Structure formats: C-alpha cells, structure tokens
C-alpha cells in the first residue's frame, strides 16, 4: 500500500471485494444512488470504521474468503441478516447472489391461486415457480396482466 497525493493506493479498486464495500457506501450515503431509498433513505447505515476500505477489509475479508473457499460460493454478495439493521460485523454475512436476490425489498408480495382454488402468498416469483413447477416469466406475465393464467394458476399483487 502506498500514498499518492494524500490518497491511499491499495491496488484493489477493481476487485469484487472492494466493489462490495463501495456499493455499501453508495446505497447508504449517496442520495443519487437508485437504491438509496431502500438503504440510506430508510436509515440503514454502516459501521463508521468502514468509511475506510482497509478497516472494512480488516473486519470482513475473512468472512468473504470463507464464503468462497469453505462454502464454495463463486461470487459472494454481502447480506444483512436482519434487514432492518445496518451493515455491521455481527449483522453481515456473504451469500450467493441468487439467495440475496430473494431478499430484495423491491420484490412485491403476490398471491397465486392454484387450479383447485388454494391460495398461496409469496414475495419471490423465481422461488414460487421452482416450488410449483411453473415458469417465473409466465408468473410475471400474469402479474403484469399480459396473460390471464399460467397452467391454470392465476396471480395478482397484494
């Protein structure tokens, strides 16, 4: 690590881990970030130590490497275990991107009415499709009212 004009040069600004850190800061602090409303806009903050990348790395890199080497996750993403709490050491883990997408706040609740009239509620179209042998794109089509049903199922936002 070297210093150039008062800036720390660590050579990691193009790494996935660095971009995770930068993303946390953007979502929590930058009102121009399109995801700010889901994070900083609703009070989600991060550990003040993590204002400095090296401190974030010091605290979290071993969890990141553990996710890759021990859990076999190819491209880990950071996840807050309690969605209402901020980015802090005890509240953050690294999980597969596919798992993280299930937890996004922007996913809307919907109900699926089976061909025999049973009602099921979900927030994740992909998971719902997998469990019930359906196509997520067709569920989306029903929710956006492009089609009336999919394999006898009907869907609507709640």
Contacts of 117 (CB under 8 A, 6+ apart): none
- Residue 122 has a pLDDT of 87
- Residue 102 has a pLDDT of 61
Q: 138 and 66: one domain? A: no
Q: 34 and 94: one domain? A: yes
- Residue 115 has a pLDDT of 96
Q: 55 and 117: one domain? A: no
Q: Is 45 in contact with 87 (CB distance < 8 Å)?
A: yes
Number of domains in the chain: 2
- Residue 99 has a pLDDT of 74
State yes or no: pLDDT of 57 exceeds 70: yes
Report how far Cα 53 is from the mean position of its chain's Cα atoms: 20
Q: 28 and 93: one domain? A: yes
CATH number for 115: 1.10.10.10
Burial 36-75 (b: 16+ CB within 10 A, else e): beebbeeebebbeebeebeebbeebeeebeebeeeeebee
What range defines the domain where residue 122 resides?
110-157
**Domain C-terminal end among 56, 75, 102:** 102
Q: 95 and 127: one domain? A: no
Q: 27 and 71: one domain? A: yes
State yes or no: pLDDT of 2 exceeds 50: no
- Residue 13 has a pLDDT of 87
**Domain C-terminal end among 57, 83, 102:** 102
Return mean pLDDT, the chain: 88
Report how far Cα 39 is from the mean position of its chain's Cα atoms: 11
Q: 24 and 97: one domain? A: yes
Q: Is 49 in contact with 88 (CB distance < 8 Å)?
A: no
Ramachandran area for residue 17 (φ above 0: left; ψ -120 to 50: alpha; else beta): alpha
Q: Is 83 in contact with 54 (CB distance < 8 Å)?
A: no
Q: 41 and 98: one domain? A: yes
Model pLDDT for residues 80-131, shown as the tens digit of each residue: 988 889 999 999 999 988 777 666 555 678 899 999 999 998 888 888 888 9
State yes or no: pLDDT of 71 exceeds 80: yes
The pLDDT of 143-154, averaged and rounded, is 92
State yes or no: pLDDT of 4 exceeds 50: no
Q: 39 and 56: one domain? A: yes
Q: Which two tokens stand for residue 130?
A: 């997998």
Model pLDDT for residues 28-50, shown as the tens digit of each residue: 999 999 989 989 999 999 999 99
Q: 68 and 36: one domain? A: yes
The CA-based angle 74-130-85, given to 5 degrees, is 60
Q: 24 and 96: one domain? A: yes
Q: 16 and 69: one domain? A: yes
- For the chain, give the percent of residues with pLDDT over 70: 89
């Amino acid at each position: 690590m070297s210093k150039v004009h008062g800036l720390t040069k660590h050579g990691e600004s193009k790494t996935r881990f660095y971009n995770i850190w930068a993303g946390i800061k953007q979502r929590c602090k930058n009102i121009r970030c399109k995801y700010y409303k889901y994070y900083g806009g609703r009070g989600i903050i991060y550990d003040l130590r993590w204002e400095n990348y090296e401190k974030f790395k010091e605290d979290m890199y071993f969890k990141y490497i553990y996710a890759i080497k021990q859990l076999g996750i190819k491209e880990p993403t950071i996840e807050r275990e309690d969605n209402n709490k901020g980015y802090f050491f005890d509240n953050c883990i690294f999980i597969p991107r596919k798992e993280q997408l299930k937890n996004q706040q922007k996913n809307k609740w919907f109900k699926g009415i089976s061909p025999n009239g049973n009602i099921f509620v979900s927030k994740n179209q992909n998971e719902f499709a997998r469990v019930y042998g359906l196509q997520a794109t067709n569920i989306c089509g029903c929710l956006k009212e492009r089609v009336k049903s999919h394999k006898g199922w009907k869907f609507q936002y709640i």
